[in-house]
Amino acid sequence: MQKVSIDSSTKIFIAVIGIVFIVAILKLLSYILLPFTIAYFLYFLFSPLNDFLYEKKIPGIVIILFDILIIGVITFSISKILVESFAVFDGNTGVYTAKFNSVVRNIAASMGVKDPSLRTFSLQKAIAKIDLFGLAGGVINSIVPLAGSVLLVLFFFVFIVSGHHSIYVALKKRYQKPAEKKTDEPAASTDTAPININMNTTFQEITSQIQKYIVTKIAVNLLAGILVGVAALLLGIDFPVVWGVLAFFLNFIPTIGSVGALILPTMMVLVQYGSVGYMGLTAGIIAVIQTLCFNILEPMMIGKRLDLNPIVILLSVLLWGYVWGIPGMLLAVPLTAILKIIISNAKDENVKLIVDLMGGN
């Protein structure tokens, strides 16, 4: 049978079509694939602990329950910190509402605005006009799918922890040949041992890269939170700890979180001091902090730790953000690092070129 040769242009065209098809499938089935991916990230995150517990002969069901307990404790602790941070506003709501009303009225008067709704602005009246039942319904409609997604993640996580080893063994059987026994006669050299090593180290590298990314992200966010809190303290802004905590948590959400971490304390300055100039100064300082942390330091640290080109990081955030929205942006960097690890074992020269382009060196 005569072999059909395919030129490079056709291969590239087929590859592009394949990538577009895969992206479309990922986007279409996001309601299943996103929770599954998050659950697998949790598996790799808990992998060192679980391996240690397995070595101690701890039953699998106990390990799974222990993992879920840790996830629950972390989730509860984060929620408690956020609730307690906002609770400091209790008892001062009336004072800040009156100040905010005064600021809006003064700005409207200074700009010559004749609109009575602004000249006699009242936040209480504005809130009263809002359809609270409709708003509450929208919040509930958002919470219900979120709760369902969380339960789906935990559901997948339980099965992944219990079934990952079987998947690993199946892949090993499919893509690796068993090592041949030694004989007195010289045998042809095989690549079995290196392939086995690559197979084992691939999963180790994936676990390591995910852990490095999480540690780096937490470290940068913590630095930003501390700097914002200190800046708020030096600027005399009320509740500096709150703004630091918000900066830490909100900046886990790309772009949108950074905007929120910038706007909220600057609005507080406007309400507290009624000065647009001082508000601009505060916004400038916080913007500089976030730029240094998230536009300069974070790409450098993550790129260095994960050996990823900063341009690749940017493009991956845009691509995964398109596919899976904000969760996709959060997972973009580790997903790209995992993809690089997997294809780095390929022997094809074109694939090696892609790996070199993705690299940070």
CA distances (Å), 281 to each of 103, 165, 266, 269, in order? 17, 55, 9, 10
Q: What local confidence, expressed as pLDDT, does residue 259 receive?
A: 85
Question: Residue 194's pLDDT is what?
Answer: 43
pLDDT of residue 197: 43
Which pLDDT score, from 0 to 100, does residue 282 have? 93
**54 φ, ψ (degrees, to nearest 5):** -65, -40
With contact defined as beta carbons under 8 Å apart, do 277 and 235 qualify?
Answer: no
Q: Of 250, 209, 254, 247, nearest to 230 (Cα)?
A: 247
Residue numbers of the chain with a pLDDT score lower than 70:
1-8, 11, 86, 88-93, 117-118, 123-147, 171-172, 174-202, 254-255, 303-306, 344-361
The two tokens of residue 48 are: 């060192």
The span from the first CA to the last CA of the chain, in angstroms, equals: 45
The confidence score (pLDDT) of residue 148 equals: 75
Helix axes 310-343, 298-306, angle to 10 degrees: 20
CA distance 178 to 197: 13
What is the rounded distance in angstroms from the CA atom of residue 131 to the CA atom of residue 26? 36
Give which of 278, 88, 254 is closest to 286, Cα–Cα.
278
SS3 255: coil
User: What is the chain's percent helix, strand, coil content, to nearest 5?
Assistant: 80, 0, 20
As a dihedral over the C-alpha atoms of residue 323, residue 326, residue 330, residue 332, rounded to 10 degrees, the angle is 20
Could you tell me the pTM of the whole model?
Answer: 0.68
6 three-state secondary structure = coil
Tell me what pLDDT residue 249 has: 86
Query: Residue 313: its pLDDT value, please?
Result: 76
What is the phi-psi region of residue 91: left when phi exceeds 0, alpha when psi lies from -120 to 50, beta otherwise? left
Q: Which of 61, 63, 41, 42 is nearest to 52 (CA)?
A: 63
269 contacts: CB under 8 Å, gap ≥ 6: 235, 237, 275, 278, 279, 282
pLDDT tens digit sequence for 167-194: 777 766 765 555 555 555 444 444 444 4
Residue 111 has a pLDDT of 77
Q: How far is CA 302 from CA 214, 338, 361, in A?
A: 10, 14, 13
Q: Which residues of 113-122 are buried (b: 16+ CB within 10 A; e: fewer)?
A: eeeeeeeebe
**DSSP assignment letter at 235:** T
The model's pLDDT over 310-340, given as tens digits with 9 standing for 90+, comes to: 777 778 888 888 888 888 888 887 888 778 7
Instruction: Reduce the DSSP state of residue 188 to 3 states and report it.
Output: coil
Dist. CA 24–CA 149, nearest whole Å:
21
